[in-house]
Amino acid sequence: MVLHLALARLGAILVPVNFMLTAVEVSYILGHAEAKGLIVEDVLLPVAEEALRMSDRPVPVRGVIVEQGVAIPAGWEDTAGWLRHNDNCRPEVPVGDDEPIQILYTSGTESRPKGATLSSRNLLAQYSSCIADGDMDSDDIEVHALPLFHCAQMHCFLMPDLYLGATSILLPGANPAAILEAVEREGATKLFCPPTVWISLLRHPDFDRCNLSTLRKGYFGASIMPMEIIKELAERLPGMALYNFYGQTEMSPVATVLKPDDQLRKLGSAGRPCLNVETQIMDDDDRMLPPGQVGEIVHRGPHVMLGYWNDPEKTAEAFRNGWFHSGDLGTMDAEGYLRVVDRKKDMIKSGGENVASREVEETIYQHPAVAEVAVFGIADPRWIEVVTAAVVLREGAALTAEELTGFCRKHLAGFKTPKHIIFVDSLPRNASGKILKRELRALYGNS
């Protein structure tokens, strides 16, 4: 949190990195972002050093946040020393409202993550929307348990709380018992969890033992909440108003909000556009569609990112005709409520994290025994959606699911590694030869 604010004041651009990524993935981000510095918690030093070796790029500023007492290697500095610097004058660095202040790498639907570049104007507009449509107050007490590299926890909840002067309780991780205990101990009034964590709280034996009566507002997002879980939350926490925040990193990240009075009336809806966002449904020719018709969800307004870092082609494609094209398919009803139908491309959301199917496929294709592979998501009671791979082996080759899983874990973060591997003789295709992932989802989704 200190680095987050200090780097902004300094005029540097912050690039939060998912701590679950492998050295290969971190190395790509370092190179693509043209990083000048790298700051890590001490337990992540091995991954950081390996990423630096792979990137073959000079990164002169190297700081370590000492948490576990790991020895600091040569070439690194303890960030605690930065806090004790003798010169405590404010940096005289003007930072314009529309200058880049953060680059958030998102898996999106491509084989490589893209850097969504955000400005102060983007973020402040987003905070205003969250506060207004999320009914946030200065007397709120909120438990923050999700990682701060993730734009939802940081920009939808922690920063708006700080902006308001509300009280924030930071936990080191999303441990259900620790969250429940913190809510009771602190008298928390607010809590954000992705659906997977809400489900883990409901299933935990401490849920009914803890006094959760102070919770007035609960929030979810990052992936679709099962309708039965919404009903269960309403029954077991009747004093808690529930909000659904829908969006994506490129929107800073909120685009639409489903408010408490609509949770049961509009089950499955993503809500209406929030304060500073316009949302529409367009066809493939960028023409507005009437209520009820399926098309691509598009947005515009001050939340929308500046563009993709070092990628003018992808930026131009995303901003066709002045609207940001989300890549999600949806419908809008006559009252202006959005329903997300599907993803325009094959991106999987597992536990709230984006997984590009193509990235996983390209990794599996590196195994010499694999002839073909199709990666897709199937429903899961814990993770909402899990990565699944249908694999065709080369003639005469032998390979087990455990061997292929181990191969993937060497190259991919754990949440990207397939939870299910299915060996098949062939993959379903249409007349033009395109693999039909919808048939794979239908075939294996309930198995």
- What residues are paired with 298 via a beta bridge? 280, 325
Find where tokens 């992540």 sit.
44
pLDDT at residue 356 is higher than 80: no
178-202: pLDDT as tens digits:
999 999 999 999 999 988 789 889 9
Close Cβ partners of 423 (under 8 Å, ≥ 6 residues apart): 391, 392, 393, 399, 401
Q: List C-alpha distances in Å: 353 to 152, 183, 206, 349, 387.
A: 11, 25, 26, 5, 11
Helix (H) or strand (E) holding 8, with range, is helix 2-10
Token readout for 108 is 């999106």
CATH 3.40.50.12780 is the classification of domain 105-343 = yes
Residue 228: phi and psi, rounded to 5, are -65, -30
Choosing among 3.30.360.10, 3.20.20.70, 3.40.50.300, 3.40.50.980, the CATH entry for 2-95 is 3.40.50.980
What is the model's pLDDT at position 112? 83
- What residues are paired with 245 via a beta bridge? 221, 257
Token readout for 321 is 């005709």
Q: List the end-to-end C-alpha distance of the chain, in Å, as a whole number.
A: 43
**pLDDT grade for 277, boundaries at 50, 70 and 90:** very high
pTM comes to 0.83
Percent of residues, the chain, with pLDDT higher than 70: 96
What is the model's pLDDT at position 434? 65
Q: Which fold has domain 347-444?
A: GMP Synthetase; Chain A, domain 3 (3.30.300)
What is the model's pLDDT at position 110? 58
Sequence spans of domains, the chain: 2-95, 105-343, 347-444
Percent of residues, the chain, with pLDDT higher than 90: 75
What is the model's pLDDT at position 362? 81
Whether the link from the prior residue into 113 is cis, omega within 30° of 0, is no
Other residues' Cβ atoms within 10 Å of the Cβ of residue 405: 15
Other residues' Cβ atoms within 10 Å of the Cβ of residue 425: 6
Residue 157 carries which DSSP code? I
217-246: pLDDT as tens digits:
999 987 677 778 898 999 999 999 999 999
pLDDT at residue 105 is higher than 90: yes
- What residues are paired with 330 via a beta bridge? 295, 340
Find where tokens 């790509």 sit.
28
Spell out the alpha helix ranges (H) of 114-158.
120-133, 151
Residue 213 is which amino acid?
S
The two domains 2-95 and 105-343 share their CATH topology (first three levels equal)? yes
What is the model's pLDDT at position 96? 94
Determine which of 8-22, 86-100, 418-432 has the lowest per-residue pLDDT on average: 418-432
What is the model's pLDDT at position 171? 97
Residue 295: phi and psi, rounded to 5, are -160, -175
Q: What is the mean pLDDT of residues 59-83?
A: 94
pLDDT at residue 430 is higher than 80: no
pLDDT at residue 157 is higher than 60: yes
**pLDDT grade for 378, boundaries at 50, 70 and 90:** very high
Strands lying side by side in the sheet with 295-300: 278-282, 295-300, 324-332, 338-343
Find where tokens 């997002």 sit.
221
Are 232 and 205 contacting, i.e. CB atoms less than 8 angstroms apart? no
CA-derived radius of gyration, the chain: 22
Are 193 and 146 contacting, i.e. CB atoms less than 8 angstroms apart? yes
What is the model's pLDDT at position 161? 98
